[in-house]
Amino acid sequence: DTLGKQLPEYMVPSTFTFMEVFPRTINGKLDTESFPEPDAVRITQYVAPETAIHVQLCELVQQVLGCPKVGILCSFFELGGASIDAIRLSGLVRSQLGCKLPVKTIFESKT
C-alpha cells in the first residue's frame, strides 16, 4: 500500500518472485536472462472488445506483447508491457490506425 501512495500504478509491482540466490554471469554481474518467470500474475476478468477500434487496439497490444488474448480491461503493464513496448504501441497506432496515442496516455491509463 505504501508504494501505491507514492508511485503511479504502472510502477507498482503486481507480483514478486523470491529467490534464494541471484544468478550471476561469468563476470559476476546479475544474469537477468536467467531470472524465472513470476509464479503468478494478477488476473483480470476477460472482457472482449466490442467496437472496431477496441478490436484493433487489442490486436495491436497482442502484437506488441505477444499475448494470445487481450481484453478491454487488461492492463498493458500487468500484461508485461514496458516503456519500450509503449513506444512501439504508440507508433503502431499512428501508422496502422492513423491516430495519435501518446506514450504518456498509455502510462496514465489503467487499460
Q: Average pLDDT of 20-28?
A: 92
The confidence score (pLDDT) of residue 7 equals 81
**3-state SS assignment for residue 98:** coil
Distance CA 10, CA 77 (A): 6
The one-letter amino acid at 97 = L
Percentage of the chain exceeding pLDDT 70: 90
Place of cell 518467470: 37
Contact 93, 60 (CB under 8 A): yes
Q: Using one digit for the tens of pLDDT, what is the confidence trace for 89-98?
A: 999 999 999 9
In which band, very low, low, confident or very high, does the pLDDT at 69 lie, cut at 50, 70 and 90? confident
For the domain made up of 2-108, the CATH class stated in words is mainly alpha
Amino acid at 105: T
Other Cβ atoms within 10 Å of 61 Cβ, number: 23
Classify 99 as helix, strand or coil: coil
Burial classification of residue 71, based on how many CB atoms lie within 10 Å of its CB (0-12 exposed, 13-18 middle, 19 or more buried): middle
Task: Report the first-to-last Cα separation within the chain, whole angstroms.
Answer: 21
Residue ranges of the domains in the chain? 2-108
